Structure 1
Amino acid sequence: MAEKVYQPGEHYEYPLIIKKLLNTPLVYSPDQEIVYRDQSRYTYRDLNERIGRLASGLAEMGIGAGDTVAVFDYDSNRFLEAFFAIPMMGAVLQMVNWRLSAEQIAYTLNHAEAKLIIINSDFLPILEGLEDKLEKVRAVVVIPETGEMPETGVKFDRVYDELLATSEPGYDFPDMDENTKATTFYTTGTTGDPKGVHFTHRQLVLHTLSTAIAVGSYDTIGRCRAEDVYMPITPMFHVHAWGFPYIATMLGMKQVYPGKYEPEMLVKLVVTEKVTVSHCVPTILQMITGSPVVKQFDLSSWKVIIGGAKLSKGLAKAAMEMGITVYTGYGMSETCPIISLATPKKHMMAWEEDRLLDVVIKTGLPIPLVEFEIVDPDDRPMPHDGMSTGEVVFRAPWLTRSYFKAPDKSAELWQNGWLHSGDVGHIDAEGYLQITDRIKDVIKSGGEWVSSLDLENLMSQHEAILESAAIGVPDEKWGERPMMIVMIRPEYQGKVSADDLKAYMKAAAAEGKLPKYGVPDRYEFVDEIAKTSVGKLDKKVMRNMYH
């Protein structure tokens, strides 16, 4: 694209676009490393060249501005390259949740109008039954995970590294309107088809800048700066890996991508590459803190932001006993995602451990440029007294403006100029938000609300409990009653009964930690608790099982 000719006195209208995030690391830290498992490592100079080659290759395959390119991959340097190259061309990056059903994946590809697919060879079996159902896809690029192409029935056009090797490195990325659509992905609800959320260049740049300020500028725990070593343990298809690949790249951090999540590999990378900052769902942290092998290593430099589900006090304590610094981050697919971080304020840093734990498991303080409120059913703000409960609503410059091609759902999402979260919570006098439930998950017993998150948090502190979930089940007298679904730690198997757990919850109620009507009547022991494709508790499945 020809460079615009400027007239004397005409200023440059600086757009907030993703390509501008690459300028800083190429000046500050061009030789910093980007690592993939124990398989490859290269520098930011190499990353920049590979981004150019990927764009050139995609352009040769017919991808242009406005086209959607769908990516199926693990957390990898290839996905990082796609995070930049595709939107920098003016195309749209679709991050595909490969854990969805084949039918849902076909729906999302067709709904997003994906024209080209980049896919890790491990996921080719997903495509083998879908090719005839894909309406717009014209080409497939395969990433051989082991370096060799497996046998497949999928008709593919190019191999990823060969595409890059034969393409020009000097792609001329254009300036563009900062409101150009950059990314899209799909969020699944309890009913209906997956909903497409989408974000512009401007939204992603502002989210990157604000989150970088939030994690790096305050005198608190878990500070994250350019000297840190970043490794995601949240899928990159899940809300841009919470935006951290953009932040880490802008700051020129050393980045480590683990590929397929394997406990041994995760620990090996944390230790050998000296990883200092990650993010994950509680299930992953549970796996790490519960592993005898992991306890052999010094993890005192590791800071982990927990999101996707509530961080229980019991799990936070277990992590901190291993030297891991943990705190909560909160957001949704619709919010790009980060809305709040549960970092303690400066005056709280001297508090004793148990009191500090109560802060880091909160939903958190709004990061810069975020406003949130809790509102009653008439959208009136409620007091910030730590008790008054209502629906959580947001304003921020990076919230999705609508669901893609779903005006009816968009009308439910945005009301009176606020994005309605569907979460229930309260805000205290210090400004900390605490989510107490999803509107659809709240348990209503005898006309009183019982927080499933409070029940789960209390249960997590019982020494025998590995994981728990609280749901409401129908009750003839009270309408609904809470019940607990629990996983017992192996060493306590057969040593703890439902009566023991009920006595424990009754004792908590007697201490004022729980209303007496909130003590669950029923306790189901299970080997595994149902999870969604992104690792959240799947309470829809649980309710269907026990109703």
Structure 2
Amino acid sequence: MSEQLIERTPSAHYNPLLIKSLLDNPIRQFPEQEIVYGDFKRQTYRDLGERVSRLASGLAGLGVRRGDTVAVMDWDSHRYLECFFAVPMMGAVLHTVNIRLSPEQILYTINHAEDDVILVNTEFLPVLEAIRDRIEPVKKLVLLNDTGQTPATTLDIGTEYETLLASGDPDYKFPDFSEDARATTFYTTGTTGLPKGVYFSHRQLVLHTFGTLAALTGTGQGRFNRDDVYMPITPMFHVHAWGIPYAATLLGVKQIYPGRYVPEQLLSLIQRESVTFSHCVPTILQMLLASPKVEEIDLSRWKVTIGGAALPQALAKQARDRGVDIFTAYGMSETCPLLTLAHLKPHMLDWDEERQLEIRCKTGLPLPLVELRVVDEDMNDLPHDGTTSGEVVVRSPWLTQGYLKDPQTSEQLWRGGYLHTGDIGTIDQEGYLKITDRLKDVIKTGGEWISSLELEDLILKHPAVTETAVVGIPDPKWGERPLALVVLKPDRTGQVDEATIRDWLKDFADKGIISKWGIPDRVLFVDSIPKTSVGKLNKKEMRQQYAQTIQGG
């Protein structure tokens, strides 16, 4: 016997899950709530609603139709938030261009996504000028301008953003259509091959928004509620700024968009606008805590979710010493992105700070509607004992259904009916996931697996170290051996040598925290460590850059 489908009354309205459903209530309920763009603009939610309608109407006047693609090249701004809503709400696809990619990679993504209109900040006009003759076909350009002056450019600019809005209809009617319509496209910034396009539907983004709010709102540690003031410090081009702008808008909270990320400016905005909730990668937090301006600011009301890379306990302790309520989130471009959050459970709130830090730095508990497993090579579930590690695979309503125009790689991503994250992790008895390494970054030496993330966390606990990365380097005897790259604090340069770091790690090996085989054979002191366009450690580049150095040495 088959399941019984519901009967629909002929006059009943079938309500598709569309992004426009996230916008109506907050505009009605919180019309005077503020949205701030750095030092440039303050507007209300009422303004947001009108400007979203005007933007969609203006784009329609440029010829944008359902299924067309509109690209955005901008810093984090009120304009970007308007595009998050207006473009998909009119049935078009929003392409959030990673402005930190190389011009050649940006060209590839524009052509691959088949952009029809590009909204471009004046600062990125030189990028488009350099690739203009190879963009297929020629696009319509809309200028995003904070200077108030007409820029000198050889590009054919169709119109300016505010002019486009002024010509638009404030009562533009957004249509209903399938909730499975593609809403957004963006490109992963992996360290191998060309960028890969991932995409999400209206249904997926709406469900991700509600799943995120179900996990974040309420009482307890690290919560995000209507009395918070929100400022993302994750680029809006990167997985919709982790989807939090949609959640923040639905909640009706005050929102701050900082533009370019300058540590002193970010700290000033936190102070001036009383920011209480943010998210960022560890390198951004590290820059903020290292800024002299941090001494002038009370951060005790600031809640910060860290993602994109492992949160070292040493960095978390620095933040906690400033009063920051810090905790980890986990996801990836392919997962929309949020899969887990490392909130403390109620019984953990009475634990001492060191014990709490261990939980805050774990990868976290799965969000509602996320099925998360740690499996062996045959897809068998592994024990939740906190030590047995395997690959993390997931299912959830908001995972990308594939890579754009790449069916072969898409099938590889989804082999066995689960999305393969490429991360190695463990699950403990409390249900917390802990990522121990990337599958491609784990170091295999003499038959043992060594976690580069664990070594990095321990090295960062040394008081002289400000940044580190550990990679595997080919070794003729052991297969691979770990190499540690270390950036020292400016006042400790020349005071720490290779033996100091190795002895530091030997203490942890003597205590049984790591294997003695995990102690790197070589420690190199460097001025900086290579990173990807979104601030992650670029370990592929490190392996290539230092393999010959080590072998030659």
Q: Partner letter of residue 442 of structure 1?
A: V
Distance 1:137 1:428 in 2: 53
Q: Partner letter of residue 119 of structure 1?
A: V
Root-mean-square deviation (Å): 1.1
Distance 1:143 1:216 in 2: 34
Distance 1:465 1:313 in 2: 13
CA separation of 1:137 and 1:232: change in aligned 2, threshold 3 A: farther
Provide the residue aligned with 1:56 in structure 2: 57
Provide the residue aligned with 1:442 in structure 2: 442
Once the two structures are TM-superposed, the CA of residue 516 in structure 1 deviates from its matched residue by 1.1
User: After superposition, what is the alpha-carbon deviation per residue over 1:262-310, rounded to whole angstroms, capped at 9, x for unaligned?
Assistant: 1221111100000000000000100111122212211101111001111
Once the two structures are TM-superposed, the CA of residue 474 in structure 1 deviates from its matched residue by 1.3
Distance 1:447 1:137 in 2: 54
User: After superposition, what is the alpha-carbon deviation per residue over 1:3-61, rounded to whole angstroms, capped at 9, x for unaligned?
Assistant: xxxx9862111111100001221222111000000111010000000000000000000
Contact 2:40–2:146, Cα closer than 8 Å, also in 1: no
Once the two structures are TM-superposed, the CA of residue 546 in structure 1 deviates from its matched residue by 0.9
Once the two structures are TM-superposed, the CA of residue 493 in structure 1 deviates from its matched residue by 1.1
Q: Partner letter of residue 259 of structure 1?
A: G
Distance 2:54 2:94 in 1: 16
SS at match of 2:292: coil
Q: Partner letter of residue 426 of structure 1?
A: T
SS at match of 2:59: helix
Distance 1:328 1:243 in 2: 16
Provide the residue aligned with 1:430 in structure 2: 430
Once the two structures are TM-superposed, the CA of residue 165 in structure 1 deviates from its matched residue by 1.1
Distance 2:10 2:183 in 1: 31
Q: Partner letter of residue 539 of structure 1?
A: K
Once the two structures are TM-superposed, the CA of residue 137 in structure 1 deviates from its matched residue by 4.2
Once the two structures are TM-superposed, the CA of residue 145 in structure 1 deviates from its matched residue by 2.5
Distance 1:108 1:136 in 2: 13
Of residues 12-21 and 24-33 in structure 1, the stretch that sits farther from structure 2 once superposed is 24-33
Distance 1:226 1:119 in 2: 32
SS at match of 1:265: helix
Matched, 1:30 2:31: yes
Contact 2:191–2:532, Cα closer than 8 Å, also in 1: no
Provide the residue aligned with 1:540 in structure 2: 540
Provide the residue aligned with 2:265 in structure 1: 265
SS at match of 1:184: strand
Matched, 1:289 2:289: yes
Contact 1:342–1:361, Cα closer than 8 Å, also in 2: yes
Once the two structures are TM-superposed, the CA of residue 189 in structure 1 deviates from its matched residue by 2.3
Distance 1:329 1:197 in 2: 20
SS at match of 1:26: helix
Contact 1:114–1:137, Cα closer than 8 Å, also in 2: no
Provide the residue aligned with 2:363 in structure 1: 363
Once the two structures are TM-superposed, the CA of residue 420 in structure 1 deviates from its matched residue by 0.4
TM-score for the superposition, normalised by structure 1: 0.97
Contact 1:121–1:149, Cα closer than 8 Å, also in 2: no
Provide the residue aligned with 1:339 in structure 2: 339
Q: Partner letter of residue 108 of structure 1?
A: T
Provide the residue aligned with 2:182 in structure 1: 181
Matched, 1:161 2:157: no
Distance 1:420 1:272 in 2: 42
SS at match of 1:409: helix
SS at match of 1:209: helix
Unpaired segments ≥5 residues, structure 1: 1-6
Q: Partner letter of residue 341 of structure 1?
A: L
Of residues 189-198 and 338-347 in structure 1, the stretch that sits farther from structure 2 once superposed is 189-198
Once the two structures are TM-superposed, the CA of residue 234 in structure 1 deviates from its matched residue by 0.6
Provide the residue aligned with 1:90 in structure 2: 91
Contact 2:267–2:293, Cα closer than 8 Å, also in 1: no
Contact 2:384–2:429, Cα closer than 8 Å, also in 1: yes
User: After superposition, what is the alpha-carbon deviation per residue over 1:337-365, rounded to whole angstroms, capped at 9, x for unaligned?
Assistant: 00000111111111000000000000110
Once the two structures are TM-superposed, the CA of residue 188 in structure 1 deviates from its matched residue by 2.7
Matched, 1:530 2:527: no
Provide the residue aligned with 1:46 in structure 2: 47
SS at match of 1:58: helix
Provide the residue aligned with 2:141 in structure 1: 140
Contact 1:471–1:483, Cα closer than 8 Å, also in 2: yes
User: After superposition, what is the alpha-carbon deviation per residue over 1:451-510, rounded to whole angstroms, capped at 9, x for unaligned?
Assistant: 000001111111111010000111122111111101101121111111111000000111
User: After superposition, what is the alpha-carbon deviation per residue over 1:68-98, rounded to whole angstroms, capped at 9, x for unaligned?
Assistant: 0000000000000000000000000000001
Contact 2:264–2:288, Cα closer than 8 Å, also in 1: no
Matched, 1:210 2:211: yes
Of residues 27-36 and 59-68 in structure 1, the stretch that sits farther from structure 2 once superposed is 27-36
Provide the residue aligned with 1:3 in structure 2: none
Q: Partner letter of residue 235 of structure 2?
A: P
Distance 1:161 1:409 in 2: 41
Distance 1:315 1:191 in 2: 29
Distance 2:258 2:529 in 1: 25
Distance 2:137 2:409 in 1: 24
Provide the residue aligned with 2:498 in structure 1: 498
Q: Partner letter of residue 249 of structure 2?
A: T
Provide the residue aligned with 1:353 in structure 2: 353
SS at match of 1:234: coil
Distance 2:220 2:364 in 1: 13
Alignment of 1:193-208 (within 5 A): 193-208=194-209
Once the two structures are TM-superposed, the CA of residue 220 in structure 1 deviates from its matched residue by 2.8
Provide the residue aligned with 1:511 in structure 2: 511
SS at match of 1:130: helix
User: After superposition, what is the alpha-carbon deviation per residue over 1:156-177, rounded to whole angstroms, capped at 9, x for unaligned?
Assistant: 1000111111221111101111
Contact 2:191–2:538, Cα closer than 8 Å, also in 1: no
Distance 2:319 2:150 in 1: 40
User: After superposition, what is the alpha-carbon deviation per residue over 1:113-134, rounded to whole angstroms, capped at 9, x for unaligned?
Assistant: 1011001111111000111111
Distance 1:8 1:477 in 2: 73
SS at match of 1:87: helix
Q: Partner letter of residue 543 of structure 1?
A: R
Distance 1:241 1:282 in 2: 15
Contact 1:184–1:198, Cα closer than 8 Å, also in 2: yes
Matched, 1:311 2:320: no
Unpaired segments ≥5 residues, structure 2: 1-7, 548-553
Alignment of 1:120-131 (within 5 A): 120-131=121-132
Provide the residue aligned with 2:391 in structure 1: 391
SS at match of 1:293: helix
SS at match of 1:119: strand
Q: Partner letter of residue 374 of structure 2?
A: I
Q: Partner letter of residue 507 of structure 1?
A: D
Provide the residue aligned with 2:298 in structure 1: 298
Provide the residue aligned with 1:4 in structure 2: none
Distance 1:412 1:153 in 2: 43
Q: Partner letter of residue 493 of structure 1?
A: T
Distance 1:137 1:393 in 2: 41
Of residues 287-296 and 408-417 in structure 1, the stretch that sits farther from structure 2 once superposed is 287-296
Identity percentage of aligned residues: 56
Provide the residue aligned with 2:550 in structure 1: none
Distance 1:10 1:181 in 2: 27
Distance 1:274 1:136 in 2: 45
Distance 2:546 2:212 in 1: 40
